[in-house]
Amino acid sequence: MCPTADTVPTDPAQMVAVDTSGRVGRAPTAVNGVQGQNGVHANGKPHAKHNPYAPRASDFLNNVSNFSIIESTLREGEQFANAFFDTKTKIAIAKALDAFGVEYIELTSPAASEQSRLDCEAICKLGLRTKILTHIRCHMDDARIAVETGVNGVDVVIGTSSFLREFSHGKDMTYITKTAIEVIEFVKSKGIEVRFSTEDSFRSDLVDLLSIYQTVDKIGVNRVGIADTVGCANPRQVYDLVRTLRGVVHCDIEIHLHNDTGMAIANAYTALEAGATHIDTSVLGIGERVGITPLGGLVACLYAANPEYVKAKYNLPMLREIENLVAEAVEVNVPFMNPITGYCAFTHKAGIHAKAILNNPSTYEILKPEDFGLTRYVAIGHRLTGWNAVKSRVEQLSLTLTDDQIKDVTAKIKELADVRTQSLDDVDTVLRVYHSGIQSGKLAVGQKEALDRLLREHRENSMSRERSEENLNAPAPASAPVVPAPA
Ligand SMILES: CC(=O)SCCNC(=O)CCNC(=O)[C@H](O)C(C)(C)COP(=O)(O)OP(=O)(O)OC[C@H]1O[C@@H](n2cnc3c(N)ncnc32)[C@H](O)[C@@H]1OP(=O)(O)O
Ligand SMILES: O=C(O)CCC(=O)C(=O)O
Ligand SMILES: [Zn+2]
């Protein structure tokens, strides 16, 4: 399993953890220190809090701070090529998503198989806070099975693009509209929520779309859904379609976005800006082909827009656990560049970054790791390091060196790191040897050869110490068996 943000690489063990004040400590244990310099300049003056890119008051449609998540790992996610969820795993995922706080969980159609139906019933019986939905074709046979499972709502879908009308179900818009009305009225008569969605919306005729959405809105559907089924839409197209639909229907608007061209998170954000109310996600984005808007990525994006709203709504430290649970269930790694939980998501490396991060983490971080139960790291033992990063380690080790001395020893660390990356132990050894050389008067700033000699001596001493320890601990040679004493 690939490491995640809180399981940093240990070989080479070059990382140190940094607390909110920017002090460093050996990974993975954060070090205690002065708390919370976020939002404060290194000079102690507060930042201007105003974010010029935040939603404007004039954006009256904007739902970036007023949305619900429809979590579809147990429906769209089951369509991921590697997914097989047994009942126990489905229940574990449903409980974890409930504890995280998503507003809805969408389950595979109970018409898909007998086990799918039983699992749907079992999850409904768990008594979760999250509302449970199931996802069906626009067909009365599916609707009749769905309403018997105990779900809180039914998501109905049918393709409206010419591709799907011709090559999938073969029905025209008149038939689709008539069946949609029948299915929606039936589900509504059972007193549960119903959503109607068009599949492949972005390759459907706009007049067809608006006409059917208006019709279902009039008969009281709870939500209409737009689906970028093939992942072809860009943010501008998403904005235009959602904005237009917002002007046509009164009900809520859901959006389902595939990630074939990497747009799924950006498109979800834009949909909210245009007035969408519900976003479909799956954990790690799993689904058909490359999947849909990932839960974690969406949360990162919306947290950046309004951290307080997102923190109040969801149990953010659970995200890593949920991702690990699903990654294990479908036998994939959490991607290294995953927002929030990617294993280097909060690791800073270059000297320029390290200096600024140590003064104030907000310089190079838009997400606070501690809000997600994670830790920030600074990597020191590499050729891009700088004396400020080294100084923070010197202070942690309680060594006393002047700035000139720290710059001098930093040059040595860079020289060594030009050959190979140095582990944190390697860095600490150089610092300690340098420090004792200075204390004993055997070393002064700029005495490169003297430092090389001290490091060589240190290496030889520790090697001979290791050898003698090995001898002391050596087991009795195999050729000297223990003979039992005569009776
Ligand atoms: C874009 C999406 O992801 S939509 C959700 C996809 N989810 C699923 O497919 C759920 C899992 N699917 C299944 O288990 C099966 O496909 C079933 C049970 C739904 C249907 O199985 P089958 O009856 O064997 O049909 P099959 O899967 O071969 O073809 C799909 C059938 O649904 C019809 N269909 C496809 N989409 C729709 C729709 N949205 N509404 C109504 N009918 C539809 C097709 O015309 C076809 O009908 P046919 O039997 O007349 O050929
Ligand atoms: O029901 C929906 O809105 C979306 C269905 C789906 O998975 C898709 O179109 O990709
Ligand atoms: Zn989909």
Q: Is the CB of 112 under 6 A from ligand 1?
A: yes
Angle at 369 between CA 365 and CA 371, to 5 degrees: 120
* Mean pLDDT within 102-121: 98
Share the mean pLDDT of the chain. Answer: 90
Closest CA to 456 of 422, 424, 416: 416
C-alpha 257 to ligand 3 mean position (Å): 7
Closest CA to 28 of 304, 258, 346, 269: 346
Q: Is the CB of 208 under 6 A from ligand 2?
A: no
| Minimum CA distance residue for ligand 2 atom 8 | 229
* Mean pLDDT within 279-303: 98
Would the pLDDT of 43 be above 50? no
Would the pLDDT of 487 be above 50? no
* Mean pLDDT within 359-370: 97
Is 353 among the residues known to form the active site? Answer: yes
Q: Is the CB of 227 under 6 A from ligand 2?
A: yes
Domain borders along the chain are: 68-329
pLDDT band at residue 331 under the 50/70/90 scheme: very high
The pLDDT assigned to 28 comes to: 38
C-alpha 158 to ligand 1 mean position (Å): 10
Rounded distance, CA 253 to CA 278, Å?
6
Q: Is the CB of 311 under 6 A from ligand 1?
A: no
Q: Is the CB of 111 under 6 A from ligand 1?
A: yes
| Minimum CA distance residue for ligand 1 atom 19 | 112
SS3 content of the chain, % helix, strand, coil (to 5): 45, 15, 40
Q: Which of 135, 258, 348, 353 is catalytic?
A: 353
Q: End-to-end alpha-carbon separation of the chain, Å?
A: 56
Given the candidates 3.10.150.10, 3.40.50.150, 3.20.20.70, 1.20.58.2240, the CATH classification of the domain at 68-329 is 3.20.20.70
Rounded distance, CA 65 to CA 313, Å?
10
Rounded distance, CA 281 to CA 303, Å?
15
Closest atom, ligand 1, to C-alpha of 157: 39
The pLDDT assigned to 481 comes to: 32
Structure tokens at 426: 């390697």
Q: Is the CB of 182 under 6 A from ligand 1?
A: no
139 vs 52, which has greater pLDDT?
Answer: 139
The pLDDT assigned to 280 comes to: 99
Q: Is the CB of 147 under 6 A from ligand 1?
A: no
Tens-place pLDDT, residues 61-83: 999 999 999 999 999 999 999 99
Q: Give the number of other Cβ atoms within 10 Å of residue 29's Cβ.
A: 10
Q: Is the CB of 428 under 6 A from ligand 2?
A: no
Q: Mind giving me the DSSP string for 67-107? A: -EEEE-TTTTGGGSTT----HHHHHHHHHHHHHHT-SEEEE
Q: Is the CB of 119 under 6 A from ligand 2?
A: no
Mutate to test the pocket of ligand 1, among 80, 144, 169 (most ligand atoms within 8 A of CB): 169
C-alpha 139 to ligand 1 mean position (Å): 10
Tens-place pLDDT, residues 194-247: 999 999 999 999 999 999 999 999 999 999 999 999 999 999 999 999 999 999
* Mean pLDDT within 121-149: 98
Q: Mind giving me the DSSP string for 197-216? A: EEETGGGS-HHHHHHHHHHH
The pLDDT assigned to 40 comes to: 40
Would the pLDDT of 11 be above 70? no
Would the pLDDT of 2 be above 90? no
> Is 0.95 topped by the overall pTM?
no
Mutate to test the pocket of ligand 2, among 71, 138, 157 (most ligand atoms within 8 A of CB): 157
Rounded distance, CA 84 to CA 93, Å?
13
Backbone angles phi, psi at 306, to 5 degrees: -155, 85
The pLDDT assigned to 56 comes to: 72
Closest atom, ligand 2, to C-alpha of 225: 3
C-alpha 203 to ligand 2 mean position (Å): 13
Structure tokens at 257: 């976005």
C-alpha 166 to ligand 1 mean position (Å): 14
Mutate to test the pocket of ligand 2, among 135, 212, 293 (most ligand atoms within 8 A of CB): 135
C-alpha 229 to ligand 1 mean position (Å): 15
Would the pLDDT of 484 be above 50? no
Would the pLDDT of 476 be above 60? no
The amino acid that residue 75 corresponds to is R
Closest CA to 235 of 273, 204, 198: 273
C-alpha 304 to ligand 2 mean position (Å): 27
pLDDT over 70, % of the chain: 86
Mutate to test the pocket of ligand 2, among 221, 229, 278 (most ligand atoms within 8 A of CB): 229
* Mean pLDDT within 44-68: 76
Tens-place pLDDT, residues 381-402: 999 999 999 999 999 999 999 9
Would the pLDDT of 59 be above 90? no
Q: Is the CB of 451 under 6 A from ligand 1?
A: no
The 3-state DSSP class for residue 265 equals helix
Rounded distance, CA 306 to CA 186, Å?
39
The pLDDT assigned to 53 comes to: 74
| Minimum CA distance residue for ligand 2 atom 1 | 157
| Minimum CA distance residue for ligand 2 atom 10 | 229
pLDDT band at residue 264 under the 50/70/90 scheme: very high
Q: Is the CB of 278 under 6 A from ligand 1?
A: no
